[in-house]
Amino acid sequence: MATPVQTAKPSHVSAPRPLTAHKAGALTGSARVPGDKSISHRALMIGAVAVGETTIHGLLEGEDVLNTAKAMTALGATVHRDADGVWHVQGVGLGALKEPDDVIDMGNSGTGARLLSGLVAGHPITAQFTGDASLRSRPMARVTKPLEGFGARFITRDGGKLPMTVIGTRDPMPVTYRLPVPSAQVKSAILFAGLCAPGTTTVIEPEPTRDHSELMLQHFGAELSVEDQADGSRRIALTGQPELMAREVRVAGDPSSAAFPAVAALIVPGSRVTLRHVGLNPLRDGLYRTLMEMGADIKYDNVRDEAGEPVADLVISHSPLKGVDVPAGRAPSMIDEYPILAIAAACASGTTVMRGLAELRVKESDRLTAIAEGLAACGVKAEVEGDTLTVHGNSGAIPGGGRIATRLDHRIAMAFLVLGLAADKPVTVDDGGPIATSFPDFEALMAGLGAKISA
């Protein structure tokens, strides 16, 4: 039986829910992490402007993605979930999104807000977007500037922040845009706007960023070419006004979510954990490459492809880790994983230096500051200088005992709960509510592996 799109009560209007992680025995067992958030957002959005009914298996049912599902319903698509967990999107066709009746609340999702800005910009409609306190503090100008080139207009708060009104254009013109800094969200917003524009829309990124939008657009029938340039940049060209056809999508497990139980297994002595069906897109696997450079015992089993995305089962065993120097060029392939990498670095021997992290200051929180302050509260020395984070490893001897200010950031909350599993004294995060935005079953999954996390 089909059920309409619903969401749990959003974390940004819920009372804070502190969580405490206690030192754990060996973590063991097998688990499947939630579907990839990036792929889930894109499957819903592209399915909504395709012709026919798209079926999505393994969609992440976290608040961020559920808010995107509600947004697509508000924009005219029909979205529902079957009792067996399969989602169906009845698309309206490209150019046929309708004007929403009310303000669209994207909760905590920067990906949802930015990508939808691009999709709406190419349609002759007006839509208003808002979000929680964290999302309303995040800059949108780097997305709105290139989208104005199509002919769209934007009304924002001072500083280019939400709430934001998007006034789409009736006659979008294709653009060629060179990204000043690597950003998969900005690239995707431009490509989504370019769907409605005649001719070719081109994005040139200074270095490759995650390519889920390109792969998904091709899966739905768009004509799109990707060329690596001699200077290391990448040129993506999209032919506008394609006839996108509904497709079946099987969403791989989110490598960003898998990072938390993976690092927990690495830092808790005696652990051996298998994480099934994890996406290993080569533009998303920077964390796992870095962990293996640090000495992590991570094996890829049953490697296969799902809709153009590489997938494998990860087998992770406790390992003594050593500090490494993480180059700035790797940041785009692991930008969401630096909070949990910092936890691995804290438990390693030696010093880990992570460079090129300016993007972390404009995520759900200022993650650079949050990481450094959280580590200090747990007895680990760390410094931030410009866009570089340096963590001095304690060789597994983590004092713990800190109370962490999560700042409505799900990844900060999960990262420090993982640290608490290896610390001498319990580690408490001030609010575990935001975890539901990306990993609603985090506590249950971790408990199933033997973790001790209590409310």
| Domain spanning 3-35+252-454: CATH superfamily | Enolpyruvate transferase domain (3.65.10.10)
- State the pLDDT at residue 9: 41
Answer whether residue 8 shows pLDDT above 50: no
Average pLDDT over residues 258-269: 98
Answer whether residue 159 shows pLDDT above 60: yes
Answer whether residue 110 shows pLDDT above 60: yes
Which residue shows structure tokens 């989602």? 87
Encoded tokens for 253: 């497990």
Catalytic residues: 336
- State the pLDDT at residue 5: 61
- State the pLDDT at residue 359: 86
The two beta strands, 382-385 and 388-392, are antiparallel
- State the pLDDT at residue 262: 98
Answer whether residue 321 shows pLDDT above 50: yes
Answer whether residue 7 shows pLDDT above 70: no
The percent of residues in the chain predicted with pLDDT above 90, rounded, is: 91
Average pLDDT over residues 17-22: 98
Which region among 2-11, 22-31, 181-190, 371-380 has the lowest average model confidence (pLDDT)? 2-11
- Rounded Cα distance between 116 and 93, Å, is 15
Answer whether residue 126 shows pLDDT above 70: yes
Residue 357 amino acid letter: L
Q: Which pLDDT band holds residue 106 (cuts at 50, 70, 90)?
A: very high
Encoded tokens for 112: 């949802």
- State the pLDDT at residue 217: 97
- State the pLDDT at residue 3: 55
Answer whether residue 387 shows pLDDT above 60: yes
Average pLDDT over residues 427-434: 97
Residue 417 amino acid letter: L
Fold of 37-249: UDP-n-acetylglucosamine1-carboxyvinyl-transferase; Chain (3.65.10)
Answer whether residue 128 shows pLDDT above 90: yes
Check for a shared fold between 3-35+252-454 and 37-249. yes
Encoded tokens for 267: 């830092």
Answer whether residue 2 shows pLDDT above 70: no
**What does the domain layout of the chain look like in residue ranges?**
3-35+252-454, 37-249
pTM score: 0.85
- Rounded Cα distance between 429 and 339, Å, is 14
Which region among 107-111, 320-324, 338-342 has the lowest average model confidence (pLDDT)? 107-111
- State the pLDDT at residue 309: 87
**DSSP-assigned letter for residue 348:** S
**Beta-carbon contacts of residue 158 (< 8 Å; ≥ 6 apart):** none
Phi, psi (deg, nearest 5) at residue 405: -85, 110
In this structure, are residues 60 and 279 in contact, taking their beta carbons and an 8 Å threshold?
no
- State the pLDDT at residue 365: 72
Q: Could you report the per-residue pLDDT of 212-255, keeping only the tens digit for each?
A: 999 999 999 999 999 999 999 999 999 999 999 999 999 999 99
Higher-confidence position of 429 and 366: 429
- State the pLDDT at residue 221: 97
Answer whether residue 71 shows pLDDT above 50: yes
- State the pLDDT at residue 11: 41
